[in-house]
Amino acid sequence: MTTMLQPGQMPAEAGGPTVTRIGVIGTGVMGADHARLLTEAVSGARVGGVFDVDGGRARGVAAASGGARVFADPYALIVDDGIDAVLIASSDATHEDYVLACVAAGKPVLCEKPLAPTVEACARIVEAEIEHGSRLITVGFMRRFDPGYTGMRALLTAGEIGAPLLMHNVHRNPAAVPGLPGSALITNSAVHELDIVRWLFGEEIVEVAVHTPRPSGQAGGTQDPQLLVLTTESGVLADVEIFANARYGYEVRCELVGETGTVTVDAPPPTSLRRGGLHARALPGDWRPRFAEAYRLELQDWIDGAAGGASAWDGFAATFVAHACVAALTSGDRHAVELPPVPALYRR
Ligand code: ISE
């Protein structure tokens, strides 16, 4: 396909109702979940094809998606006339090649976070999209669609808590792979907060520091937990506790402190149990149930061409700040973050 597609112009199956045929690359945990949502919970789209390095896994997801085609070659899927847009949920190291192939084919692409593992790879993707001349790439920072975060931003924007001063973030996973490098907690997990801080305040992070307590004995040698301190352009301080081996469950919450009030994002399940002197609520095991509605809304926004998602530039910026945090983790010093100017294609 050579059409120049703009956000708002998702291609659709010819002749019938407006149905966009999505090719899913990578059908592991996230790819399978996206395929399920596209099949069951999103209107105007269907899974048209799948690819995975594990053919059996791809066939399973294809069958569960109403008999989508199984491709043996991801690049054949990208250029196929029966595929209108591509969702990339394969391993991080493969993102760059697949996203570049989508841009070369002129097809809209939703790429799971991170856009790519290195700043240089993200820059190459941004350059390719600028060269193409219009926006095709969306990055899967789904928290931008979470009702808790959108509610927080609406209250902040409406002036309900006055000027923002501080933001406290908690991001805990029950368990991580033993021996994971400490940097992965930043590039894989805290990268969500790096994006949400830029999105919430509409300004850049200009300085970062990373503080570390003694590592948890449960963390298998990883520097875990970590405390990131981010300073924004206007002088808001955002701290992020990132704890990958918290053991008790998955939890993401935060509080924004303004001059005249605060806003809290929490996701308590509606059902709770009081028994034996305890008041208990179940916690999710991972991010999929916690952000189920955010993932659904993110996909619907993408299919509708509403362009509410993170751009390739946002993906570049998040990786850029993440790498400044990794440098700060290594050095123990504060690090200035000097992002290049926003290219015209991404200015609002
Ligand atoms: C995981 O890779 C994700 O992307 C999740 O959204 C995040 O909450 C989790 O901490 C990461 O490990």
pLDDT in tens, the chain (348 residues): 333 344 445 665 555 568 999 999 999 999 999 999 999 999 999 999 999 999 999 999 999 999 999 999 999 999 999 999 999 999 999 999 999 999 999 999 999 999 999 999 999 999 999 999 999 999 999 999 999 999 999 999 999 999 999 999 999 999 999 999 999 999 999 999 999 999 999 999 999 999 999 999 999 999 999 999 999 999 999 999 999 999 999 999 999 999 999 999 998 888 999 999 999 999 999 999 999 999 999 999 999 999 999 999 999 999 999 999 999 999 999 999 999 999 999 998
Could you confirm whether domain 20-140 is CATH 1.20.1250.20? Answer: no
Query: Which residue, by CA, sits nearest to atom 1 of ligand 1?
Result: 189
Exposed, middle or buried: residue 141 (CB in 10 Å: 0-12, 13-18, 19+)? Answer: buried
**Ligand 1 center from residue 281 Cα (angstroms):** 22
Q: Which residues line ligand 1 (CB under 6 A)?
A: 173, 188-189, 192, 287
Query: Which residue, by CA, sits nearest to atom 5 of ligand 1?
Result: 287
Query: Which residue, by CA, sits nearest to atom 3 of ligand 1?
Result: 189
Q: Is the pTM of this model over 0.75?
A: yes
Domain residue limits, the chain: 20-140, 144-346
Q: Which CATH superfamily is domain 144-346 in?
A: Dihydrodipicolinate Reductase; domain 2 (3.30.360.10)
